[in-house]
Amino acid sequence: MTPALEAVDVTRTYRSDGVSVTALHGVGLRIEEGEFAAIVGPSGSGKSTLMHLLGCLDRPTGGTLRVAGRDVAALSDAELADLRNRRVGFVFQSFQLLPRTSARDNVALPLVYRGVPRAERRRRAVEALSMVGLGHRLDHRPSQLSGGEQQRVAIARALVGEPRVVLADEPTGNLDTRTGHEVMDLLEHLNAEHGVAVVLVTHEPDIAGRARRRIHIRDGRIERDERA
């Protein structure tokens, strides 16, 4: 079976003012369809760089990166953006919601880029918000929602395009412990009941411990790969 995401000997080097800094050194990784994995490591370990590459927000300097079997090096910027929009959903620590926009319209936003008609966008946004328990908060703006509710809106936005993979970068980082575990409950449910692969970046051992697979990264290299 074709993996959802695959990195083969991937490196990422940043250059600025004549100075080169390598954030990833020859990383090899496969994420299968329906997996629940955590990428774990200290600050500066390269875990967010790896997440950005897996989500096609950046391109590797060397090696091969495939999304649903497609080599990202062979894609134009437009093709890469389309693949990202259709295959991958993102959840960020800071929520990244439009502050003056309702929950429904925040969730519908990825469908705008696909050219989905307005009525269909709104219908699918309501469906996604109902899936995360916010069907009663459709018209609320982010400032009218708690932190946990804002993260649920962000998860609904990630799901509205029916992706095969959700990438979550420190999804509980701005939440209290109880709310963070509620968000994890939701991600686990989506993985188990809907078959969505979930890959989360975290430095919190208790959050990482809930994943069935833990990929430990340090100094830009995978130290070990554990499965529950």
Q: Is the pLDDT of residue 228 over 80?
A: no
State the amino acid at position 74 in one-letter form: A
- CATH number, domain with residue 200: 3.40.50.300
State the total domains in the chain: 1
What is the rounded distance in angstroms from the CA atom of residue 8 to the CA atom of residue 65? 6
132: domain range?
Answer: 5-227
Mean pLDDT confidence for 39-52:
92
Q: Is the pLDDT of residue 135 over 90?
A: yes
pTM here is: 0.90
Sign of the torsion angle spanned by Cα atoms 129, 160, 194, 3: negative
pLDDT in tens, 184-214: 999 999 899 888 999 999 988 899 999 999 9
Residues in the chain: 228
Which single residue is written with the structure tokens 């918000």? 129
